[in-house]
Amino acid sequence: MRKKIVAGNWKMNLTLAQGEQLINDILATGLKLTEGQEVVICTPFPYLTKAKALLKNYQGFYVGAQNCHSEKAGAYTGEVAAEMLKSIDVDYVILGHSERREYFQESNAMLAKKVDQALASGLKPIFCCGEPLEIRQAETQNAYVAKQLEESLYHLTEEQLKDVVIAYEPIWAIGTGLTASAAQAQDMHAFIRSQIAAKYGREAALRISILYGGSAKPGNAEELFACPDVDGGLIGGASLVAADFTAIVSKLG
Ligand code: PEP
């Protein structure tokens, strides 16, 4: 059975003390994960070690970074390599978030290299894909997402793909308060799974976890997570509020 995952993306928010408090508040709720469920807390780089220490004795709780560089090492001032993240016991890394694509010009080709670095270092990529509003309005979102998958993931072997999580995040829904309807999410998730099946076969498609992201909240998480091809969520704003985040996790079922 594929994993059910809720990942919180803190983005560039919180001080270390606030982040520590947030994790302690989440843990204090006594949230229990069942077999096959995971929570991934994706903090800014400087807090990863602390987050890992706080979560290490909690079954099913993992730590993720929000980016890594496309090269293994070298003269890239200010950048962080996948291997460095692994060396401090980071488990996951978000790659291809729409904010990285937009503000840091991350292309599908560059993301393919980042995915390679992450996997080579033993990190699990949470690979984000999703269309902007004008593409959704033109009803060409399937072709748009298919190209993102093809250009950033399809060079991987089936074995490598086992460590990849996909997050479908329609850009028009991120931080906007607009959520994709459960039907829109299910349609796209089923499409993504069918694309994976066409490239890697049915078993690989049934194994891969596909998360939904875009204004997910306690009030809509249950309906989204009830969709057969939605395997959890990548949560931005609501991951900064312990009660909201834990309420969303509890909707995993
Ligand atoms: C995100 O940034 O990945 C995200 C889904 O944000 P939000 O939940 O705030 O829309």
pLDDT for position 161 = 98
DSSP single-letter state for residue 239: G
Cα(171) to ligand 1 centroid in Å equals 9
pLDDT in tens, 132-143: 999 999 999 999
Average pLDDT over residues 177-193: 94
pLDDT for position 142 = 98
216 lines ligand 1 (CB under 6 A): yes
From the candidates 38, 106, 131, 169, which is the catalytic residue? 169
Contacts 24+ apart (CB under 8 A), 82-88: 82/114, 82/117, 82/118, 82/120, 82/121, 82/123, 83/117, 83/121, 85/48, 85/121, 85/123, 86/121, 86/122, 86/123, 88/48, 88/49, 88/52
From the candidates 69, 97, 99, 106, which is the catalytic residue? 97
Considering only residues 175 and 133, tell me which one the structure prediction assigns the higher pLDDT. 133
Q: How confident is the model at residue 156 (pLDDT cuts 50, 70, 90)?
A: very high
Cα(8) to ligand 1 centroid in Å equals 9
For residue 1, what are its two tokens? 């059975």
pLDDT for position 108 = 98
Can you tell me the distance from the alpha carbon of 211 to that of 164, in angstroms, rounded to the nearest whole number? Answer: 11
Overall fold of domain 4-249? TIM Barrel (3.20.20)
Active site residue 97: yes
Cα(127) to ligand 1 centroid in Å equals 14
Residue 5 · residue 211 · CB < 8 Å = yes
Cα(177) to ligand 1 centroid in Å equals 9
Q: How confident is the model at residue 175 (pLDDT cuts 50, 70, 90)?
A: confident
pLDDT for position 212 = 97
Mean pLDDT of all residues belonging to the chain: 97
Mutate to test the pocket of ligand 1, among 5, 171, 179, 215 (most ligand atoms within 8 A of CB): 215
Lookup result for tokens 């509890």: 250
- % residues pLDDT > 90 (the chain): 96
174 lines ligand 1 (CB under 6 A): yes
Residue 169 · residue 213 · CB < 8 Å = yes
Residue 208 · residue 160 · CB < 8 Å = no
Instruction: Give the H/E segment covering residue 43.
Output: none
Residue 51 · residue 74 · CB < 8 Å = no
pLDDT for position 232 = 98
Residue nearest to atom 7 of ligand 1 (CA): 236
Residue 211 has φ and ψ, to the nearest 5°, of -95, 150
pLDDT for position 179 = 83
pLDDT for position 1 = 80
pLDDT for position 74 = 98
Q: How confident is the model at residue 178 (pLDDT cuts 50, 70, 90)?
A: confident
Residue 195 · residue 161 · CB < 8 Å = no
